[in-house]
Amino acid sequence: MINEEQQKKDERYMQMALDEAHLALEAGEIPIGAVVVCKDRVVSRAHNLTETLCDVTAHAEMQAITAAANTLGGKYLTECTLYVTVEPCTMCAGAIGWAQIPRIVYGAPDDKRGYHLLAPHAFHPKAQVTQGVLEDECRELMQNFFKAKR
């Protein structure tokens, strides 16, 4: 059960992830953003850059994990929470598992490419997952992007 204070914090950090997603959108990228928080301190923020970098591995979560490890000076993010606007894919879920991130918060589900479907046991077995934070905003951003592409 998440208390009201935690809920407010989650929304604040998810809004930061959404701000990152907007930066992706402005760059012509699929609008997904991520933020890593360690003890109430933002240690990294990133957005999807697969087109810009010509690199399928440049998802928001991957970059946020790499940057957080750099900031903290250790590759295991065992005291961190990852906020991401859309449910992580198989690749990102695998990276989240390797980094031993104990809490993952995401906005909108991804019923096609989400880890739930393709890699449901990728996270650390004790990891806590919270979904649906600012879900409507996260989903709308994606839907508008794909509508405009058609």
Q: Which residues are catalytic?
A: 61
Does 54 appear as a known binding residue? no
Residue 4 or 126 with smaller CB distance to its own copies = 126
What is the residue whose two structure tokens read 């989650």?
A: 10
Sort strands 128-131 and 103-108 into parallel, antiparallel or unpaired.
parallel
DSSP string, 42-66: EEEEEE--HHHHT-TT--HHHHHHH
Could you say which residues in the range 13-52 bind its own copies, by CB under 8 A? 50-51
111 touches its own copies by CB under 8 A:
no
Query: How many Cβ atoms are within 10 Å of 132's Cβ, its own excluded?
Result: 14
98 touches its own copies by CB under 8 A:
yes
Does 59 appear as a known binding residue? yes
Does 89 appear as a known binding residue? yes
Residues contacting residue 32 through CB under 8 Å, at least 6 positions apart:
21, 24, 47, 48, 59, 60, 84, 85, 86, 142
Q: Min. distance of Cβ 29 from its own copies in angstroms?
A: 12
90 touches its own copies by CB under 8 A:
yes
Binding interface with its own copies (CB under 8 A): 50-51, 54-57, 62, 65-66, 69-70, 73-76, 89-95, 97-99, 118-119, 121-122
